[in-house]
Structure 1
């Protein structure tokens, strides 16, 4: 028997547990504080889908919506007023953690409008706007890792703003994200910013890789293909951890770290299991490793707390096996580049749909409040 919980064990490995959820109910009922105290939650991530869901079923937004309607606020500005208030309030709750970890944790993420994913200039503009609007040092601005997002990442980091780079699927793009981060640190240093105050995570998506590749393996139908099901997502993430290890061991990166900069930690996103036949903690326990973040939906967090089996660093020594999995996938006809390109495109489209739902929800609420 052990006196520690699985989430305590996960934290002891060096995994920061962030909740992939935020709502006014979580904030106003004390549930977020309870998750911090009882589930070792040390951060929060949000996205348009999360806010659309919170607003669609949250009566706690009614008073603010009435105020916004009375002031004649348009839909887009109303969305920013509502979402940045939630994020700002969450930042306040996490301020003690932020201070005690020197900015490492106690972080709350808010995403630029997904429709800007391919507009570098407007992404930069909105990232700075959101940072100023939230007004809290421990906010992370989420910028998608599209090709057009890379320059935005560099510019926003260069302005001294901490960034959560999201929607990363491929190892090649992940290398480009790290390069963009290092470029941003160099700009920040030249501008006289305190590098120790700038933090970043790189959100590498996991379960969606398995969902797409498993569908293609089913279509192949051979025994070799079937044997590879549900292995790609973890192998891809393991190799991403190798990329991170190597990238932050270069002379360029070490020079910045010596100047006070922080490493850009890998964050495992999309960790809720899509295939019900798989263990519901698969993308948590199998990716436990030092200096990582795992952002979990509430259901996955509770499953991990209840029955997650954490056995130390699960990624160490896995790189050769992970490469073998990727080679075997290629051998049965899985086109990795096609998979990751499709996943990025779909992810941007899904968040655009969610943003549209958010707009519709707020528009209806504003009209009903008049």
Structure 2
């Protein structure tokens, strides 16, 4: 198969292309394999909303749900079985990518139950359980970057489990995530784990930042405010990458861990689908190009980039001062950035809980029907 030239160029610029989607249809039909062969896909991310959409739209899960119903499985056990089976199968499809990249890529993410986002102990317990059930070295366990999630990240990494930290909206929280990561690697070493086998990414959300801040700028309505629309998300991500280089390229803690084979926790650009039709539909891909990063894209965004995306290799590096200027300007026109980021985290958890609750309700109905 021939790789799409635009996505191949993105990969050559140091951006790992991950698909933000998964379903049993995609795995069984060979569509995921084709994404690898034709669109430079080297990883997959999932979340409760993705599973909710996949299971609701397909009849491919009906037989498994019926079999689980016959065994007396409850709804939580049923969803665990369904989702971990899909992730395990996707891990197998990406196994060769994991080997070829020395484990850096070829990763498939599965998220802990979003209802546990504010419960550290329960998050740790389920993260360990999910890792054991999937039983693949290229799985990533997703843990939200809530206050309760931060110590959970450290404790799960300390068990030698690779982690995808999700729902990061602010650079301040991102710094706390990197600290939790370093603490986790220190603990993993103390526990006798080979830190070279531990891989982690930090999922920094982009488009949702613009959506919320643009709404507030529209409400302010001054020319100065309106001129800042569509600038916050990219500025925020650029400052996050500057923090990444500060910690992993210039920091004092990481070199000791690197000497033991540790890898940096790569920045992953999430929420890269453009919500505002006035903006280019590949904005959060083309303008977030930097070495050692990941961009996880919904299928629609990936196809758009394959068709007409561009690779701007000057989109991040060296633009720290410009990005801080955007934040200063936002503050001057009356945007409370702290309030924005707190709201986005709360909404992010709520959206995933709502999607999971919908999935629980639908699956419970199918179990009841199967038992009848």
**Shared fold per TM-score greater than 0.5:** yes
Q: Where in structure 2 are the equivalents of 1:344-359 lying within 5 Å?
A: 344-359=345-360
Shift of 1:368: 2.2
The answer (yes or no) to whether the contact 2:268–2:296 under 8 Å persists in 1 is yes
Per-residue deviation, 1:66? 1.2
Query: CA contact under 8 A between 1:51 and 1:83: conserved in structure 2?
Result: yes
How far 1:159 sits from its partner (Å)?
0.4
User: How far does the alpha carbon of each residue in 1:298-338 deviate from its partner, in whole angstroms, 9 at most, with x for none?
Assistant: 00010011110113342112111101000000010001100
CA shift digits 1:191-239 (9 cap, x unpaired): 1101100000000000000000000000110000000000000000000
Equivalent residue, structure 2, for 1:126: 126
Kept in 1, the 8 Å contact 2:118–2:147? The answer is: yes
Is 2:85 the counterpart of 1:85? yes
Q: Which residue of 1 aligns with 2:276?
A: 275
Q: Distance in 1 between matches of 2:166 and 2:314?
A: 24
May I ask how many residue pairs the two structures share in their alignment? 368
> Is this contact kept in 1: 2:4–2:38, CA < 8 A?
no
CA shift for structure 1 position 254: 1.3
Q: Is 1:153 the equivalent of 2:153?
A: yes
* Structure 1: distance between partners of 2:284 and 2:180: 27
C-alpha change, 1:295 and 1:4, in structure 2 (3 Å) is closer
Find the counterpart in structure 2 of residue 309 from structure 1: 310
Which residue in 2 is equivalent to 1:11? 11
Q: Which residue is equivalent to 2:168?
A: 168
Q: Which residue does 1:288 correspond to in 2?
A: 289
Provide the residue aligned with 2:21 in structure 1.
21
Structure 1's consecutive aligned runs of 4 or more residues displaced over 6 angstroms after TM superposition are none
1:4 CA drift (Å): 6.3
Of 245-254 and 209-218, deviating more is: 245-254
Is there any run of 5+ residues in structure 2 with no aligned partner, and where? none
Distance 1:42 1:243 in 2: 25
Secondary structure of the structure 2 residue equivalent to 1:182 = helix
Deviations 1:86-124 (A, max 9, x none): 000000000001011111000000000001000000000
* TM-score normalised by the chain length of structure 1: 0.98
**Partner deviation per Cα, 1:49-94 (whole Å, 9 max, x = no partner):** 0001011011111111111111111000000000000000000000
Query: 1:225-275 deviations in whole A, cap 9, x for unaligned?
Result: 000000000000000000000011212111111211010000000000000
Name the CA distance, whole Å, in 2 between partners of 1:367 and 1:41.
38
What's the secondary structure of 1:151's corresponding residue?
A: helix
Please list every run of 5 or more consecutive structure 1 residues that lacks an aligned counterpart in the other structure.
none
**2:336 counterpart of 1:341:** no
SS at match of 1:188: helix
Contact 1:290 1:313 in 2 (8 A): no
Question: 2 CA distance for matches of 1:78 and 1:49?
Answer: 17
Scaled by the length of structure 2, the TM-score of the pair is 0.98
